[in-house]
Structure 1
Amino acid sequence: MKLASRVSLIKPSPTLVITAKAAALRAEGRDVVDFGAGEPDFNTPDSIKNAAIQAVESNFTRYTAVGGIDELKDAIIRKLQRDNFLSYKRSEIVVSCGAKHTLFNLAQVLFEEGDEVIIPGPYWVSYPDLVLYTGAQPVIVNTQEKNGFKLTPEELEAAISEKTKALIINSPSNPTGCAYSKEELAALAEVVIRHSLMVISDDIYEKILFDDMPFWNMAAVNPALKDRTVVVNGVSKAYAMTGWRIGYAAGPEPVIAAMGKIQSQSTSNPASISQKAAVEALNGDQQVLVEMVREFQKRRDYIVSTLNAFEGVSCLKPQGAFYVFPNVSALYGLSWKDRKITDSATMTEYLLEEAEVAVVPGIAFGDDRYIRISYATSMSIIEKGLERIGKALRRLS
């Protein structure tokens, strides 16, 4: 059987592959510490679960409007006004089956063969594949650690061609945890406006920021960009609702309508029960977010200081999300027994097989000098995993 050629354009998500390998080893009885998955270890708050239970008990279990129920759209509108100072109407909101689904639909609507899409690297693993699947070309701009892994106006300007259609900005970032300030986004916005680009603002980690850093996105920073920006967000990361699969987009009405059309022929509506849960998440008490972020910041501080104490490892302190992206390239060329560390993939294999710790190779995010470690797990597991990593790295010679 011959598969469609477009299937060869994309690859399985590396983070999910690592998670599956860790699960397989655990099934064999091995005590694997999983630093691979980008999934909060907190339980979904009770008020949100209760809203879902009420939806089931009231038989809210049928199809809904393709792009989401009005109650959820209104909750999203209030959230965007309250948190981001952005005003939208229902026709400018679409709800999908997670933020990844939202981004997939958006790419299908905006991009086609001949287009170029600028993606700052290191990047979330799915961005290039989402662009490639449309026939467009991702243009990776490698950012510098000395700049906090953030795209500069000069780097953006140099990457733009007559084919450039859009820029994807993820702040706070997966995998680096970097977050853009209002001033940094304003400087990028000037370049975007000058070249009439679209902006995809992936705000999924918006609520997970540290050291009292305020959140801004491109549309909020420069009102002139609101009609050229699609804001993508969801409830997965902030409310520990990864399995509920609710993401959403806010943007120009023609774009949102087209996304709804694509969705109508693929998944139809997101789960009715999950939509009711998301209403409670956005409208309910937000104090739970404060408590989660406080715990994430405590973990960040511990993991960064510990990693920087390892010989041959350097780790920038992230400003948000729940990942660290340590540079381990100084260890390349070293070996232990028959294992030689030559790149991020062999480092990852070594840590999984010898230390029983699952991390993600930096090459999956576009930079082979690094590995990604998720600290969306308990402090006790973090301590155990780092102790194992430290011992494994000390064996190398």
Structure 2
Amino acid sequence: GFACEPANVLVTCGGKHAVYTAFAALCDPGDEVLCPAPYWTTYPEAITLAGGVPVIIDTDAESGFQVTIAQLDAAKTDKTKVLLFVSPDNPSGAVYPPEAVKAIGDWAVANSVWVITDEIYEHLTYGAHEFSSMPVLCPDVADQCIIVNGVAKTYAMTGWRVGWMIGPADVIKASTNFQSHATSNVTNVAQRAAIAAVSGSLDDVVMMRKAFARRAATMHQMLNAIDGVTCLEPQGAFYCYPDMTGLLGKDIRSADGTVKVANTTIELADIILEDAKVAFVPGEAFGLPGYGRFSFALGDEDLVEGIQRIADLVS
């Protein structure tokens, strides 16, 4: 629902490249970027590589992993240049309601803060939760906002490496110049594939979303059935992000009778990988220890077996 001209768009070598290019275009050395946690692991690195300083704002399950205006006010300084906004979110699966999206956009306008909004999971929301684009709900923010997106999630085209950024023409021109010296352009065959994806029907996406919603419900139910684990219902993306602190400091007996104890979710992830042969990403990777990210972008049978292995190990 956001109207733009070709001069407002740059096609990039994947969504990740759009993220990095956006920060490179906006950040001068020492500029602060407000980065709510949990965050995708690339964000702080891209900010730092661009010369910016990540300012982490913690959220938690109680807040629905959503940052508040009060938190933004408390974190803002004279050096604040950019707010990173992600909804639906990786890794938490949180989806901000429209009124919160607009309020944050209004805050950015009032405080002259740029917004980089990552919309790559826009079509993957579940139940009553719906995606909202900030510059659509808050048109005044459009002149200080960059949208980043790509084909990886909606169209399951991760390896094709096609993303894009949408923003003011001067920012896009500068970003185009930057990209010309970094990657030249996106490969032509990948661009043709992406054109077919974005100009085609979303029927397959609807089918995929239904499958994800089913798997989300299964994983959510199974994780919450494990004593010591609590998990919010996923609202978007394709991750569960359970609180696993109830498993820390607890005896875990492996098949050979060895008793192990994890004091951090990194240690817990190692134990579960070694003894249950199931991998998850510990919350430390996303700036929020005590949690773990579980992807339900896999087959139903594998999902059930994986979570059941964990349940059997820690019970």
Q: Shorter-chain TM-score category?
A: over 0.9
Matched AA of 2:282? P
Equivalent position of 1:157 in the other structure: 73
Partner of residue 184, structure 2: 268
Counterpart-to-counterpart distance in 2, 1:193 and 1:285: 35
* Higher relative contact order (CA closer than 8 Å, sequence separation 6+): 1
Match for 1:350 among 256, 264, 271? 271
How many residues are treated as equivalent by the alignment? Answer: 310
The 5 Å alignment of 1:107-126 reads 107-126=23-42
Decide whether the 8 Å contact of 2:31 with 2:81 is kept in 1: yes
C-alpha separation between the residues in 1 aligned to 2:212 and 2:171? 35
Q: Quick check: 1:388 aligned with 2:309?
A: yes
Which of residues 230, 233, 238 is equivalent to 2:149?
Answer: 233
Find the partner of 1:341 among 249, 258, 262. Answer: 262
Deviation at 1:219, TM superposition (A): 0.6
Matched, 1:376 2:297: yes
1:184 matched to 2:184: no
Is the CA contact 2:95–2:130 (under 8 Å) kept in the aligned structure 1? no
TM superposition score normalised by structure 1: 0.77
- Does residue 243 in structure 1 map to residue 163 in structure 2? no
Q: CA deviation at 1:212?
A: 4.2
Counterparts of 2:24 and 2:112, CA distance in 1: 20
Structure 2 match to 1:7: none
2:148 touches 2:165 (CA, 8 Å); kept in 1?
Answer: yes
| Structure 2 residue identity aligned to 1:367 | L
RMSD: 1.0
Q: Secondary structure at the match of 1:265?
A: helix
1:223 matched residue in structure 2: 139
Identity %: 37
- The answer to whether 1:146 aligns with 2:67 is no
Q: Superposed, which structure 2 residues align to 1:229-308 within 5 Å?
A: 229-308=145-224
Unaligned runs of 5+ in 1: 1-84
Residue 36 of structure 2 contacts residue 84 of structure 2 at CA under 8 Å; is this kept in 1?
yes
Are residues 1:194 and 2:103 paired? no
CA distance in 1 between counterparts of 2:5 and 2:226 reads 51
Give the structure with higher Rg (CA): 1
**Equivalent residues of 2:10, 2:175 under 8 A apart:** yes
Alignment of 1:18-167 (within 5 A): 85-167=1-83
Q: Deviation of residue 143 (structure 1)?
A: 1.1
2:144 & 2:109 partners in 1: Cα distance? Answer: 9
Equivalents in 2 of 1:367, 1:241: separation in Å? 29
SS in structure 2 at match of 1:357: coil
- TM-score, normalised to structure 2, is 0.97
